[in-house]
Chain A
Amino acid sequence: AQSVTQLDSQVPVFEEAPVELRCNYSSSVSVYLFWYVQYPNQGLQLLLKYLSGSTLVKGINGFEAEFNKSQTSFHLRKPSVHISDTAEYFCAVSDRGSNTGKLIFGQGTTLQVKP
């Protein structure tokens, strides 16, 4: 079984500052890793995913994440945030060996970008 822990429920940051949203996972098997963003009262939008290869993954809207197998982490970063990045961010994993695409989600991190 897998579990996902997002270490911060809320992250306040000023506009144009860098940000890191932390995600740790626990799994006895190899996993795929995902970050999704949710704007208020909307569905989830895929930001990026790690499948294999380079551990640094680039996504949309200037976000990137780094997979660290030894620390079982997949932290999301952006060097300079905008007001429009204010949203809730979810980290998720799925089992590489499964014949389904079932996702296990973290509890979410609310990013609050202040002017």
Chain B
Amino acid sequence: DGGITQSPKYLFRKEGQNVTLSCEQNLNHDAMYWYRQDPGQGLRLIYYSQIVNDFQKGDIAEGYSVSREKKESFPLTVTSAQKNPTAFYLCASSIRIGHQETQYFGPGTRLLVL
């Protein structure tokens, strides 16, 4: 059963704590993305990676970090420097066919601050 999985579905963070959100895909896609979703603001790009061991900052990378050690996995760490982490986090992956890429999304992780 191919697809993108994200875990956990809900995550709680205490003040000063780092938390890591998991994203795994078995679609053999090259590129992976992390978005943050806040009500009324659409989706904003945090980080993306086009190949293993390489990643780029998106529009709102401050307070977040990522790694891409395996093609299938792109975990996102929300650090204590992110002062307003409460949001819905979405992971996506894509494969390039010709000049075009289409992104496919995981089910999301909701992060709440205690």
Contacts and interface: CB of A to CB of B under 8 A. Distances in A.
Provide the main secondary structure of the chain B interface.
Answer: strand
B38 to A, nearest CB: 10
Interface stretch (A37-45, A59-67, A79-87): A37-45
A108 B42 contact: yes
A114 B45 CA distance: 33
A112 to B, nearest CB: 15
Interface in A70-115: 90, 94, 96, 99-103, 105-108
A43 B107 contact: yes
Interface string B23-65: 0000000010100000011111100101000001010000000
B102 interface: yes
A42 B103 contact: no
B69 interface: no
A107 B90 contact: no
Given A100-B48, A101-B96, A103-B103, A43 B108 contact: yes
Contacts of A44: 43, 90, 92, 105
Provide the main secondary structure of the chain A interface.
Answer: loop
A46 interface: yes
B106 interface: yes
Query: Which of B31, B50, B58, B100 has its CB near the most chain A CB atoms (within 10 A)?
Result: B100
Contacts of A51: 100
Contact of B42 (A41, A94, A96, A105): A105
A101 B103 contact: yes
Given A44-B105, A101-B101, A102-B48, 14 more contacts: A34-B102, A43-B90, A43-B105, A43-B108, A44-B92, A45-B105, A46-B102, A49-B102, A51-B100, A100-B31, A100-B56, A101-B96, A102-B58, A107-B42
14 contacts: A9-B40, A42-B108, A44-B43, A45-B105, A46-B104, A49-B102, A51-B100, A90-B42, A96-B99, A100-B56, A101-B101, A103-B43, A105-B42, A106-B42
